[in-house]
Amino acid sequence: MNWATLHARVQPSLLAGTSRHPLPGDSIRTADPGSDGALEMLSLMGQALRFERPSPPDSFTVEPEISDDRKILADGLRRPLVRLLTAKSATEHPARALARAFDRLRLRPHPFDLPLIDAFVRSNAEKLGPTAQHWADRQKPEAETQSYFDPELLDESNWAQARLSRRVAYLDQRRRDDADTARALVESTWAQEDADTRFRLLHVLQTRLSMADQPFLSTLEKDRAPRVRALAAKFLARLGAGGENPALRACMERIKQSQSGLLRKRPVLQLELPANVKDQAVSRWILQAFTDVSFGELGGAFQFTEKELIEASAKDEPLLLALALMATSERRLDLLELVVAHLPNAWERTFESGLDTLGSMTESERQRCEEIIVHPYRKDLPTIYSLWDWLHRITDAEAPPSVMSIAVKTKLLAKVPERERGAAPWLEVIAALCPAPQRQELREQLVEFDQSQTVIPLALLDILDGMENDTTHV
């Protein structure tokens, strides 16, 4: 019996059941009288099917070509990287540090490792290059995917096609270099953007905001999105061209002005907190109350210069916190430094306020901001894990060498109470913050700890060193 006969005459009976569709009588010839003819047909058909070669699909998908100029991570670092990123106990800190290193050194993970570190790639795709971005987007519908650009390849012709965060970063840089061209770019695509994108792009105008922006901002008073209208109104108020800022009026109602001094009268400002705000919620209330008020507006309302405003608030810690938050929001690090001179615990107070972003600050600005709020602690750096955790998350940058130098020299980790060392990933966050010059010193201090706690931080330091110094990246 050949394959065609089996297929045409035997298979239908086996599929439908021989009780309903009997096997063709002439096909059943048993070699062994003890065997069942139908079962012999079953095994013969089964074996014939096993010899049937698998049929190919009608067509294959054409894979997109991704242009990625980044070098692939050196082979020797691949396995340690995968091991670290998939370790059960690893926190987000090593992943953040590694993503930054990939971005800074213009490296990319090996394409074969992308499935193994999928969660890391999805969280940090923009820092890992176009191939990783394509991987992270692979399950999105085609309409939702963006073109894949390295930031260095963005220009006026293609900036609108990149991911939003890259667009914002590009625009921010352009705004610093040429404010008018940057605004013109925003205006050119404004009508096609959704509300979220409009809001993020409008934020960029905060950089070098000037009267030249007023005509464009005025057109936004009728924008469909309330938050875009509010932000535009805030900017106009800052320029002195808009109506009254309601947030400013609310703040003014809570700030009491008086004078002090015997020989020379000096103005004094004091923030009066609502009676229903409990002590532990004060910082959060301040952040909410002052988030829509600018430093310039507040000073203008009292007819003070920025420095006079800080001097007048010097004795009032809640008001100083408000000024610190406004200075941070406006990227006025010069003002932040002046405020922190009167508010040495600004780090803790800012953390308590729930501030969760430094806006569009550049990496060097974020590092400077960190220096400003950490330096007042000098040798008494806090041994509270949540402060360091927050610092790393909000700055998303290596600590400036001056900060880490204090941490290493004062043996911060050795001061952490024994019970807290195991309860929080102290060593990981410090290793993730540690810049290259202090890594060796930190390693020497890590040796003092339980080996099970140092596996991840030491591996992180080794990989970061390898990424910076290995010459076999391809």
Partner 1 sequence: MERIEALAPDQSSLASARKLLKASSWPTLAEGEGLIWGECQGSGATPYRVAVTEADAGYKCTCPSRKFPCKHALALMWMRADRSAAFAPASVPDWVKDWLSRRRGTSTGASKAEDEARPKTRPSIRLTGIPEAGADADPKAEQRAAAARERNRLEREAAVLAGLDDLDTWLSDQVQHGMANFVAQTAQVCRTIAQRLVDAKASGLAGRLDALSARLFTLPGPARPSSAIRELGQIYLISRAYRRASELPELLAADARQAVGWSVTREALLGDPEAVRVDAKWRVFAVLSEAQPDRLRRVETWLWRQGGADGLPQCAVLIDFVPISGAAVGGYLVGDQVDAELRFYRSTIPLRAQIARLKTGAAQTKEPLALPNETLGASYAMYERALAELPWLGTFPVTFRSASVRRNAEQLYLHDDESELSLSLHTSQTSDALPLASVGRIDGIGLWNGYEFTLAWAETQLGRWVRS
Minimum distance of partner 1 from residue 34's CB (angstroms): 8
Least Å from the CB of residue 20 to partner 1: 7
Q: How far is the CB of 57 from partner 1 (least distance, A)?
A: 4
Q: How many CB atoms lie within 10 A of CB 161?
A: 13
Burial of 269 (0-12, 13-18, 19+ CB in 10 A): buried
Q: How far is the CB of 376 from partner 1 (least distance, A)?
A: 34
Minimum Å distance from CB 400 to partner 1?
A: 30
Buried b (16+ CB within 10 A) or exposed e, 180-200: eebbebbeeebeebeeebbbb
Q: Tell the smallest beta-carbon distance from residue 51 to partner 1 (Å).
A: 6
HEC profile of 99-157: HHHHHHCCEECCHHHCCCCHHHHHHHHHHCCHHHHHHHCCCCCHHHCCCCCCHHHCCCC
**Near partner 1 by CB under 8 A: residue from 57, 226, 261, 274:** 57
Instruction: Answer yes or no whether residue 54 interacts with partner 1 by CB under 8 A.
Output: yes
Residue 380 interacts with partner 1 (CB under 8 A): yes or no: no
Give dist(CA 406, CA 149) in Å, integer.
39
Radius of gyration of the chain (CA): 32
Rank residues 27 and 345 by Cβ distance to partner 1 and give the closer one: 27
Task: Find the part of the chain contacting partner 1 (CB under 8 A) among 28-36, 183-191, 229-237, 398-406.
Answer: 28-36
What x-and-dash track marks residues 101-120 binding partner 1 by CB under 8 A? Answer: ---------xxx-xxx-x--
Looking at beta carbons only, is 88 or 278 nearer to partner 1? 88
Residues in 180-199 that interact with partner 1 by CB under 8 A: none
* Binds partner 1 (CB under 8 A): choice among 2, 26, 50, 144: 50
Cα–Cα distance for residue pair 125/356, rounded to 1 Å: 21
CB of 131 or CB of 207, closer to partner 1:
131
* Angle at 35 (CA atoms; ends 33, 41), nearest 5 degrees: 120
Cβ-based nearer residue to partner 1, 45 or 335? 45
Q: Where in 445-474 is the site for partner 1 (CB under 8 A)? A: 450-453, 455-456, 459
3-state secondary structure at position 368: helix
Q: How far is CA 42 from the centre of its chain?
A: 60
d(CA 362, CA 395): 10
Cα(332)–Cα(310) distance, integer angstroms? 13
Give the distance from CA 443 to its chain's centroid.
Answer: 27
Closest CB to partner 1 among residues 72, 372: 72
Within 65-104, which residues bind partner 1 (CB under 8 A)? 66, 72, 75, 79-80, 83-84, 87-89
Tokens of 64: 């997109």
**Cβ neighbours for 57, distance < 8 A, ≥ 6 positions apart:** none
Residue 100 or 134: which CB sits closer to partner 1? 134
Q: Which is nearer to partner 1, 90 or 361 (CB)?
A: 90
Stretch that binds partner 1, among 35-43, 194-202, 203-211, 254-262 (CB under 8 A): 35-43
- φ, ψ dihedrals at 260, nearest 5°: -140, 170
Q: Which stretch binds partner 1 (CB under 8 A): 50-58, 230-238, 259-267, 409-417?
A: 50-58
**Does 423 help bind partner 1 (rule: CB under 8 A)?**
no
Taking the least distance from each CB to partner 1, the nearer of 25 and 261 is 25
- Minimum CB distance to partner 1, residue 84 (Å): 7
- Do 204 and 168 meet the contact criterion of CB atoms below 8 Å apart? yes
Structure tokens at 460: 């992180």
Q: Which is nearer to partner 1, 87 or 436 (CB)?
A: 87
Q: Of 51 and 280, which CB lies nearer to partner 1 in the complex structure?
A: 51
| Residue 80 or 401 with smaller CB distance to partner 1 | 80
Query: Which of 32, 142, 152, 356 touches partner 1 (CB under 8 A)?
Result: 32
Q: Report the amino acid identity of residue 137.
A: D
Q: How many CA atoms lie within 13 A of 351 on its CB side?
A: 19
59 near partner 1 (CB under 8 A): yes
Out of 38, 179, 268, 277, which residue is the one contacting partner 1 (CB under 8 A)?
38
Q: Is 196 helix (H, G, I), strand (E, B) or coil?
A: helix
**Smaller CB separation from partner 1, 72 or 343:** 72
SS3 72: strand
422 binds partner 1 (CB under 8 A): yes
Binding to partner 1 in span 137-166, by CB under 8 A: 138
Q: Can you say whether the dihedral through the CA atoms of 50, 56, 58, 62 is positive or negative?
A: positive
Q: Which stretch binds partner 1 (CB under 8 A): 58-66, 149-157, 283-291, 372-380?
A: 58-66
Question: Contact, 458 vs 446, CB < 8 A?
Answer: yes
Nearest to 298 by CA among 247, 360, 242, 352: 247
225: its two tokens: 């999105």
Question: What is the spatial distance between Cα 163 and Cα 374, in angstroms, rounded to a whole number?
Answer: 33
What residue ranges bind partner 1 (CB under 8 A)?
Answer: 11, 14-21, 32, 34-36, 38-40, 42-47, 49-51, 53-61, 63, 66, 72, 75, 79-80, 83-84, 87-89, 110-112, 114-116, 118, 135, 138, 422, 450-453, 455-456, 459
